[in-house]
Amino acid sequence: MQFIPIVVLFILFFLNVPIAFSLMGSSLVYFIFINTTMSMEMVIQQFVTSVESFPYLAVPFFIMVGSVMNYSGISEALMDLANVLVGHTKGGLAQVNVLLSALMGGISGSANADAAMQSKMLVPEMTKKGFPLPFSAAVTAASSAVSPVIPPGTNLILYSIIAGIPVGTMFLAAYGPGILMTIAMMIVVQIISVKRNYKPSFEKRATFLDFIKQLIHSIWALVIPFGIIMGMRMGAFTPTEAGAIACVFAFFVGFFVYKKLKLHHLPIILKDTVQSTGAVLLIIASAKVFGYYMTLERIPQMITEFLVGFTNSPIVLLIIINLLLLVICMFIEGGAALVILAPLLVPAVKTFGIDPVHFGMIFIVNIMIGGLTPPFGSMMFTVCTILDVKLEDFIKEVWPFIVSLLLVLAMVTFSEKIALFVPLIFGGV
C-alpha cells in the first residue's frame, strides 16, 4: 500500500499530466485513501509553507535576468564575442553555438530557454552557411545542456536548498563540469566539421585588436555571471541579493548601454517571469507534499538501508545511481526529477561518505543528458518543434554529442578532483 502513490505518479507522468498536478494527485491518493488519519489541513499547510523560504526568492530574480537578456542586446553581444573567438575554425557557427551556450549559462540558466533562443537567433544563420537543419538542431539542443550547469542555473539553487549546501559553493563547483561539457562538445563539432567540410564563419582568425574591441563591447554581459560569483564568494551579498542585483544591472545594460531594451518590453518580461516562477514553485510545493508522504512512510530511509545492504562501495553506488538517473530522466523533466529524487538519494550518498556537492554535479549533469534523449527529452522536443525537424533525423545527428556528455559524466563521477577542481582551487569545499 505504501508504494501505491509512486505507481500512481508514474502512471500520471505517462498520461502526460503536468508534473505539478501529477505530484499533487498521487499525494492526494495517499492522504485521502491510505493515510486517513492525517487531516487535509496539515496537507494544505505543507503545500503553502513549502515555498516560504528566503533562498527561493532567488528563483524569480534569476528567471527575470534570463527574460531581460532576450530583449536587452546581451545575447547578441555574447554571440559576437563567441564568433570572434571561434568563428574562424571549421564549422565556425556550430562552434559559436556551443560556446554561446556556455557564455549565456550564467545569464539564462535554462536549457529550454537557451535552446529556443538559439533556434531562432543562430540556426537561420547556420542554414545560410550550408549546415543541414538536423545537425543545427542537434548542436543547439546539445549545447543548451550546458546552460543550467554553469551558474546561476535554477537547478543549482534547488539542489543547494534540498541538500543544505551553500549556494555560492554549488555555483563555484558547477564551473568545472560546465567547462568540461563545453570542451567535449566543441571537440565533437570539430571532428564532424572536418569530416563533412563545414565552412568557418570567416576565413581568417580575428586580430588581437578585433578581440579587444569586441571584449570591451561584451564586457557588460560578462559582468553578470562573474560578478555574482565573486560577490557571493567575498560575502558581499546572498544568492537572493545577487539575483536582485543581477536584475538591476541587466536592466541598466539593456536601457543605457546596448539601448535595445524598451519600455514596451517590460510587461512581456514581467509576464514571462511570473509564468516561469509560478510553474517552478508549483512543482516545488507539490514535490514537498509528495516528500511529506515519503517521510511519513520512511521511504528515504528504506532506500538508504537497501543501498547500504546492497553494496558497501561508493563507486558501485554511484554507478547504480547514474544508471537510475539516466533511465528516469529519459521520461521525467529534469527539474521534476531533481525535486523528487534528490531528497531520496542525498541521505544515501552521505551515508557512503560522498561529498554532496560532488553528488550534486553528478545529478545535474545526468538530468541535462536526459533532456537530450528520447522519448521525452525536453530540449529535444523544444528544438525539433521550433525548427520542424523529424525526431529520427535529430537522433541520428545528436548521438555523438550524447556520447561526449556521457564521457564527461564518467569523469565527473569517478574523479572528485575533476568534478570539484574550481572550488578546490578557491577553497570552497
147 φ/ψ angles, rounded to the nearest 5 degrees: -55, -50
pLDDT tens string 106-158: 565 567 777 777 787 778 878 887 888 989 899 988 988 888 888 777 788 88
Those residues whose C-beta lies under 8 Å from the C-beta of residue 339, and which sit 6 or more positions away, are: 158, 162, 283, 284, 287
d(CA 135, CA 132): 5
Between 428 and 404, the higher pLDDT residue: 404
pLDDT band at 231 (very low <50, low <70, confident <90, very high): confident
Residue 92: half-sphere exposure toward Cβ, Cα within 13 Å: 23
User: What letter represents residue 173's amino acid?
Assistant: A
d(CA 64, CA 296): 36
pLDDT band at 413 (very low <50, low <70, confident <90, very high): very high
pLDDT tens string 84-110: 887 777 777 888 888 888 877 656 556
Categorise residue 349: left if φ over 0, alpha if ψ from -120 to 50, beta otherwise.
alpha
pLDDT tens string 52-87: 777 677 778 877 887 787 788 877 787 788 878 877
Q: Cα dihedral sign for 5, 7, 9, 11?
A: negative
When pLDDT is averaged across residues 253-282 and rounded to a whole number, the result is 85
pLDDT tens string 12-43: 877 878 778 888 888 888 888 887 777 777 77
d(CA 429, CA 420): 8
Q: What pLDDT does residue 110 have? A: 65
d(CA 193, CA 184): 14
Dihedral in degrees, nearest 10, Cα atoms 140, 333, 55, 274: 80
